[in-house]
Amino acid sequence: MPTPRKQLVSLSETPWYHCVSRCVRRAWLCGVDPYDGRDHSHRRQWVVDRMEHLVNAFAIDVAAYAILSNHYHLVLRVDMERAARWSWQEVIDCWHRVYGGNMLSQRFVRGEPLSTAERKLLQQFAETWRHRLSDISWFMGALNEHIARRANLEDEVTGKYWEARFKSQALLDEQAILACSVYCDLNPIRAMMADTPETSEYTSIQKRIEAAKKGNIPPTLLRFQGPAIKHQKPGLPCALQDYIKLVEATGRIIRNDKRGAIAASQSPILQRLKIDPDTWVQIATTFEDSAGTWVGSPDRLQQTCGRLDKRWICQSNKLIQLYPT
């Protein structure tokens, strides 16, 4: 039986999560379907457009993404502090960007007068919506349902389009966050859909590189936390230029099968975070297959399990006992 989502997501441990959604019934999210020859490439842009729309409504940031033929990857960061700062009026505005709200919220938006009791009830609704707007399951549901409806309408079919559950992995430390982001950005290269990161269409790395060439920062992607903005709001734990070099170096290793051939001195971020090159290659090239639902260093995993009162944790499709019975 699948593990309940509430046991896979613990915001007290980490706000970072890797999420994957896959199609069912041999459905194609994008690309050319080999069975009927139809080209669904335009659907990749549907996902990007919807994702960017949701980022402007939810208290959830997208750090990395990759959209492939029948699945997509997201690295998300939940910003609970942002959700807590919203006034209840701002919550209603954000909720209406995605959903229709209810009769009271619609009257409020139209500027119609509300009684004291109605305003109190509306504030209660707003608190429920505040929680949902910082919930990964609600974010993924708003993304997947929208795409499923459009795809089914285009295909003139009904029924399920996505698997019943999206896969989620908690990223517990900087190594896990960076490894997962690199893994996502290199997915098209591993799938032989692209040769280089800058030509990997519908990935966060391509979007960042294209924006950097123009001296811009993608507004819908989480920023990198380089030295100059060290004390500003949390972001990806390195500078953009280091990350691009890291993706390129790791990509060369994947394509040329040179495990451990690139020295740590050639990747400044590896030195700064004290990550062993061999360990990095193993994680970044087989992230989804080898990692379980909780990803981090052994010490960080043990600390998390201690706080969550877990004795066993799933890693590499097997159970590892972290605390003796």
Contact 136, 76 (CB under 8 A): yes
Gap between the Cα atoms of 129 and 88, Å rounded? 9
CATH label of the domain that carries residue 55: 3.30.70.1290
Q: Quick one: pLDDT at residue 249?
A: 80
Gap between the Cα atoms of 178 and 287, Å rounded? 11
Local confidence band at 69 (pLDDT 50, 70, 90 cut-offs): confident
Give the sign of the dihedral formed by CA 169, CA 170, CA 171, CA 176.
negative
- Domain finish residue from 100, 132, 164: 132
Are residue 98 and residue 207 in the same domain, yes or no? no
Are residue 48 and residue 106 in the same domain, yes or no? no
Per residue in 205-262, pLDDT (tens digit) is: 999 888 887 778 888 999 887 554 444 567 887 878 788 888 888 887 754 443 332 2
DSSP 8-state code for residue 222: P
**Per-residue pLDDT for 20 more than 80?**
yes
Structure tokens at 137: 């399951």
Give which of 228, 224, 227, 229 is closest to 247, Cα–Cα. 224
Structure tokens at 215: 């001296």
Judge residue 30's burial from the number of C-beta atoms within 10 Å of its C-beta, 0-12 exposed, 13-18 middle, 19 or more buried. Answer: buried
DSSP 8-state code for residue 228: G
Are residue 204 and residue 102 in the same domain, yes or no? no
- Domain finish residue from 132, 163, 196: 132
Task: Kindly report the backbone phi and psi dihedral angles of residue 68, in degrees, each rounded to the nearest multiple of 5, phi listed first.
Answer: -110, -160
Local confidence band at 317 (pLDDT 50, 70, 90 cut-offs): very low
Give which of 140, 270, 244 is closest to 182, Cα–Cα. 244
Number of C-beta neighbours around residue 125 at 10 A = 17
Give which of 207, 80, 65 is closest to 134, Cα–Cα. 80
**Per-residue pLDDT for 19 more than 90?**
yes
Q: Residue 21's Cα: distance from chain center in Å?
A: 11
Q: Quick one: pLDDT at residue 268?
A: 42
Are residue 87 and residue 42 in the same domain, yes or no? no
Q: How many domains does the chain have?
A: 2
Q: Quick one: pLDDT at residue 92?
A: 97
Q: What is the mean pLDDT of the chain?
A: 79
Are residue 179 and residue 239 in the same domain, yes or no? yes
Are residue 119 and residue 74 in the same domain, yes or no? no
Q: Quick one: pLDDT at residue 265?
A: 40
Mean pLDDT on 80-93: 95
* Structural domain harbouring 167: 5-79+135-321
Local confidence band at 264 (pLDDT 50, 70, 90 cut-offs): very low
Are residue 144 and residue 241 in the same domain, yes or no? yes
pTM of the model: 0.79
Task: Kindly report the backbone phi and psi dihedral angles of residue 67, in degrees, each rounded to the nearest multiple of 5, phi listed first.
Answer: -115, 115
- Helices and strands (DSSP H and E) totals, the chain: 15, 7
Strand, coil or helix: 168: strand
Are residue 44 and residue 160 in the same domain, yes or no? yes
Are residue 127 and residue 266 in the same domain, yes or no? no
Are residue 127 and residue 144 in the same domain, yes or no? no
Contact 183, 171 (CB under 8 A): no
Gap between the Cα atoms of 156 and 135, Å rounded? 31
In angstroms and rounded to an integer, the radius of gyration of the C-alpha atoms of the chain is 21
Strand, coil or helix: 292: coil
Q: Quick one: pLDDT at residue 147?
A: 94
Are residue 90 and residue 153 in the same domain, yes or no? no
Local confidence band at 313 (pLDDT 50, 70, 90 cut-offs): low
Structure tokens at 130: 């505040």
DSSP 8-state code for residue 172: -
Per residue in 92-127, pLDDT (tens digit) is: 999 999 999 999 999 999 999 999 999 999 999 999
Q: Quick one: pLDDT at residue 213?
A: 79
Q: Which residues contact 276 (CB under 8 A, 6 or more apart)?
A: 264
Judge residue 124's burial from the number of C-beta atoms within 10 Å of its C-beta, 0-12 exposed, 13-18 middle, 19 or more buried. Answer: exposed
Are residue 121 and residue 251 in the same domain, yes or no? no
- Domain finish residue from 132, 152, 173: 132
Structure tokens at 293: 């639902």
